[in-house]
């Protein structure tokens, strides 16, 4: 099995509103998404997939939806105020943790895969220098 890794970075704000400590306050991160794709057969270039063919649409999607946005749980009571003031917001059905972001992107990335032989193996979101979370389904 062959695999490739590509990364995209973005800046975002969030809060974990049920967190008992400092993370319940609005704060920002320079996030980095790492995507690992696999294939057992290479294409005519000897690639799993061209790095740019996954990085470009992923970066475009992240720039549009997550970069310089407030990533929020749909139950966050701050949302109406932020929306009324025209802030860029992306809403999850859960807390905007690194785990939730990684799982969301794992499924989203399928939209950007152009070869049927290619599978998404794992998506990792690095939130800080010392903390990151990954998602890959248990039986995949
Ligand atoms: N499993 C997870 N734990 C935490 C997440 C997460 O997404 N998944 N997120 C946070 C916060 O968002 C926080 O911003 C990052 O936490 P922390 O490592 O505490 O941040 P610092 O960089 O400020 O750490 P220091 O070592 O205290 O400087 C928390 N946990
Ligand atoms: Zn945080």
Give phi and psi for 55, each to the nearest 5.
-65, -40
Task: Identify the three-state secondary structure at position 128.
Answer: strand
In sequence order, which residues have a C-beta less than 8 Å from that of residue 18 and are 6 or more positions away?
Answer: 24, 95
Please list, in sequence order, all residues whose beta carbon lies within 8 angstroms of the beta carbon of residue 75, skipping any fewer than 6 positions away.
17
Cα 112 from chain centre = 13
Q: Is the pLDDT of residue 3 over 90?
A: yes
Mutate to test the pocket of ligand 1, among 131, 132, 133, 135 (most ligand atoms within 8 A of CB): 131
CA 17 – ligand 1 centroid, Å:
13
Provide ipTM, 2 decimals. Answer: 0.94
Continuous segment of H or E residues that includes residue 52: helix 51-65
Q: What is the pLDDT of residue 140?
A: 65
What distance in angstroms lies between residue 133's CA and the mean position of ligand 2's atoms?
A: 12
Average pLDDT (47-75) is 98
pLDDT above 80 (res 139): no
0.90 exceeded by pTM: yes
Residue among 70, 68, 75 nearest 17 (CA): 75
- Under CATH, to which class is 2-135 assigned? alpha beta
The overall longest dimension of the chain from CA atoms, in Å, is 53
Q: Where are the domains of the chain?
A: 2-135
CA distance 119 to 108: 12
């Amino acid at each position: 099995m062959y695999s490739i890794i590509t990364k995209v970075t973005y800046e975002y704000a969030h809060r974990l509103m049920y967190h008992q400590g400092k993370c319940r306050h609005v704060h920002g991160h320079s996030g980095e998404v790492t995507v690992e794709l696999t294939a057992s057969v290479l294409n005519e270039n000897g690639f799993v997939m061209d790095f740019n063919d996954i990085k470009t649409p992923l970066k475009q999607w992240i720039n549009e939806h997550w970069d310089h946005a407030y990533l929020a749980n749909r139950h966050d009571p701050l949302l109406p105020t932020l929306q009324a003031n025209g802030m860029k917001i992306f809403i999850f059905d859960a807390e905007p943790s690194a785990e939730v972001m990684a799982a969301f992107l794992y499924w989203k990335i399928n939209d950007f895969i152009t070869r049927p032989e290619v599978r998404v193996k794992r998506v990792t979101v690095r939130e800080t220098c010392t903390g990151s979370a990954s998602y890959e389904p248990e039986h995949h």
